[in-house]
Structures are given as structure tokens and as C-alpha cells.
Amino acid sequence: MDDKDSDDGIVLTEEQKRRRRARSIAIALSLGALVLLFYIVTIVKLGPGVLNRPL
Amino acid sequence: MSLVSGSADLTPPVRVGMTRVRSEPSSAGVEDYFALLKPRVMSLVVFTALVGLTVAPGHLHPVLGFASLLCIAIGAGAAGALNMWYDADIDAVMTRTAGRPIPSGRVAPGEALAFGMTLAAGSVAVLGLVANWLAAGFLAFTIFFYVVVYTVWLKRSTALNIVIGGAAGAFPPMIGWAAATGGVGLESVLLFLIIFFWTPPHFWALALCRADDYARAGVPMLPVVAGCAETRRQILIYSLVLVPIGAAPWLLGYAGLAYGAIAIVAGTLMAALAWRLKNAGEGRDAAQLAKRLFAYSILYLFLLFAVLLIENRLGVLFASGST
């Protein structure tokens, strides 16, 4: 890593920062899609029963 | 799963001598992780699973069907990532695969392993919750079969690697069927058999063109172990067996006349190509024929499953229109 491994830790290049950002966005979008999928699947599988529970 | 930069490199494959121990931050792009999923293989898996799911009796809500297919696709991708993790040493010395994310150094082996394991566990669990646990069990077994039985065991030890290992690629229509019905039907077994007997001539046609690559990597593919002439003979035998098996859904009354006609004509064409390849001898013509057979075999499988799907949808359409 040449002189990048300083005492302050690893310093990322601009390209590495760009790729990390792209990965972070992809993970965020995937998690968002999963949340949406679970929500829709829950509604489809349970239908109105999703609200029907003993209080 | 360490997708972020600065993550420590996890354990590289034990047998691998070529993989570097990476200490610098990850330079992997999103496209590298996508490549780990083997998207082209995944597309075939999704399509055949879709056909299995669609032609199955009973009704699965479209949203649940979509979610099931997504799980099957992710499971197949996970198997691909784990395959690339284990085979990184082989990939590095083969021209066709040297540019893959792990041998090229863009993704660390440990990252690929974590990526594949996470997706495998997640896809199986979600399929179990969305569809049923039989389908999830099938998916888990398929991933296990592809990664452990084929990649770890058979690929490096026997020329029958893709004959037996081809079962992994043949399971998706059965998984789709199981997701829709919760069971296993004879028709889904027929779909399994079509892909199972299709895989050897398809893959050996490619292996004929890449025999040097496989020899350099020490993979005992049939052309390396038994020679090109024997491989061409085996391709012909499997292609001949494939013709009646391809037509079996029609012969047993599961598919219509259109499917039967197309299966017989397309299957005969494939056998004819295999016959020409067997008699082509060595040289450039033989290589061209092998490439043509490889390309045609993809078209053949796509055609069979597409016609099955169309016939089924039209049948549903006419049945609902007549009531």
C-alpha cells in the first residue's frame, strides 16, 4: 500500500471511494427491495388475516 | 459479509496457490459481485424454473411465484459464487475464466465465500417461508450438489463430472414445480431428465473447444481424459438418447402436438449435428461444428421449454375462454 498505510489508517483512493459508494448503494437498494418484498408477500399470504389477532 | 472497504481478507481457498492474500481495501465493483452470480447460467435456471412452476397443476399467486423464482435465481447465483470461490485456482489458469473476479484479484476469496454463503442461506430460508419447505429443501440440495458434489468432488476427480454434476442444473424445474404444488410430479421428473441428458452434449461441445485449457488446469474433462474422438462419440450417444426423452412429455400426454413435433424435429437436428461432429475428424471444421452444436443445444433447450410454456398458457387461456 506504499505510503497509504499511515498511522491514521488506510487512505482510500478516489476510485476505491467511488466503488465503495456504489457497493453501499447496491446493498441499500437490495435491503429496501427485500423489505418491500417481505411486506407484499406478507399481505398476499395472510391477506386480511394480517390484522386478525387476539388482543 | 464484508463488502465494505478496509475489510480483512478472510481465509482463501486452502488448496489455492495462486490467490493472493489481500491486505489493501477492496476495489470490487458492484458488477464484480454480479459476475460472481454467473448471470448467464442464472438466466437458464430462472427460465426452466419458471416453466416448472407454470406448467405445474394448481395455482400459485403471481407475487409468490415471482418471489419463489427470485429465491431460485439467488440460490443459483449463490452456488455460482461458491463455485468460483473454490475453483479460483482452476479459473486462474484457464483463458476463458482468468478474468473472473477472484482470479483477477478484484474480489477476495473470503468475500466471495461470505457472499455465496449468505445468499445461499437467505434464498433457501425465504423460499421456505414464501412457498414451502419441500421447494426450499430442493433448492438447498441443489446448491449442495453443485458446490460440494460437483465442484469440490467430481470436477477434479472424474471425467463423468458433468454427467453426474449436471443434475444440479436439472433440478430448477423440479424446484419450481415443488414451489407451486408442494410435491414432485412425473412431469417435473421428465423436465429434470431433459436437462440432465442435455447437459453432457452441451458441455462437452464446449469442452472440445477448450480441451487445452482444461488440460492445463488439470481438470479431467472427457476430451482431456479420453480424447476428442471418444468425446464426439459420447456426444452423439447422449444426443440420440435426448431425442425420445425430449419428446417424452408429448408421448406421455403431458404436452400437445406442437411440443411433440418441435421436440422431435429439434432433437433430430441436434442428433444430426452430433453425427456430423462425430465424423468431422480433427481440425478447424470440427472445432466450428463443436461451437455450432454448443450454440444449437442452447437454442434446443430454450425451444422445448418455451413451447411447453406457450402451450400451457394457451391451454389455460382457451380453457378459461370456453367457460
- ipTM score: 0.79
Cβ separation of B26 and A19 shorter than 8 Å? yes
Q: Which of B184, B205, B221 is the last residue of a domain?
A: B184
Cβ separation of B29 and A1 shorter than 8 Å? no
By C-alpha distance, which of B222, B210, B227, B267 is closest to B244? B267
Residue B323 lies in a domain: no
Instruction: Indicate whether B118 and B216 sit together in one domain.
Output: no
pLDDT at A53: 72
Residue B53 lies in a domain: yes
Instruction: Indicate whether B168 and B47 sit together in one domain.
Output: yes
Question: Cell 461441445 belongs to which residue?
Answer: B205
Residue B20 lies in a domain: no
Which residues of chain B does A9 touch, with a Cβ-Cβ cutoff of 8 Å?
6
Convert the pLDDT of each residue in B108-119 to its tens digit. 999 999 999 999
Residue B101 lies in a domain: yes
DSSP A50: G
Cβ separation of B67 and A37 shorter than 8 Å? yes
Instruction: Indicate whether B77 and B212 sit together in one domain.
Output: no
pLDDT at B8: 38
pLDDT at B23: 58
Convert the pLDDT of each residue in B82-105 to its tens digit. 999 999 999 999 998 999 999 999
Instruction: Indicate whether B167 and B308 sit together in one domain.
Output: no
Residue B18 lies in a domain: no
Compute the mean pLDDT over every residue in chain B, rounded to the nearest whole number: 90
pLDDT at A49: 74
- The whole-angstrom distance between A31's CA and the closest CA on chain B is 12
Contact B221, B159 (CB under 8 A): yes
CATH number, domain containing residue B150: 1.10.357.140
By C-alpha distance, which of B62, B71, B54 is closest to B136? B71
Instruction: Indicate whether B195 and B145 sit together in one domain.
Output: no
Instruction: Indicate whether B196 and B173 sit together in one domain.
Output: no
B56 vs B312: CA distance, rounded Å? 9
Give CA angle at B76 (B30, B108), nearest 5°. Answer: 40
Considering only CB atoms, B30 lies closest to which of A12, A23, A41, namely A23
Which residues of chain A does B4 touch, with a Cβ-Cβ cutoff of 8 Å?
20, 23-24
Q: How many domains does chain B have?
A: 2
Residue B145 lies in a domain: yes
> Residue B203 pLDDT more than 90?
yes
Question: Cell 478496509 belongs to which residue?
Answer: B6
Helix (H) or strand (E) holding A5: strand A5-6
| Per-domain residue ranges of chain A | 15-43
Q: Which of B123, B154, B184 is the last residue of a domain?
A: B184
Which domain range does residue B146 map to?
A: 1-13+28-184
pLDDT at B281: 76
pLDDT at B11: 45
Which residues of chain A does B61 touch, with a Cβ-Cβ cutoff of 8 Å?
44
Residue B305 lies in a domain: yes
Cβ separation of B24 and A9 shorter than 8 Å? no
Q: Which of B167, B184, B201 is the last residue of a domain?
A: B184
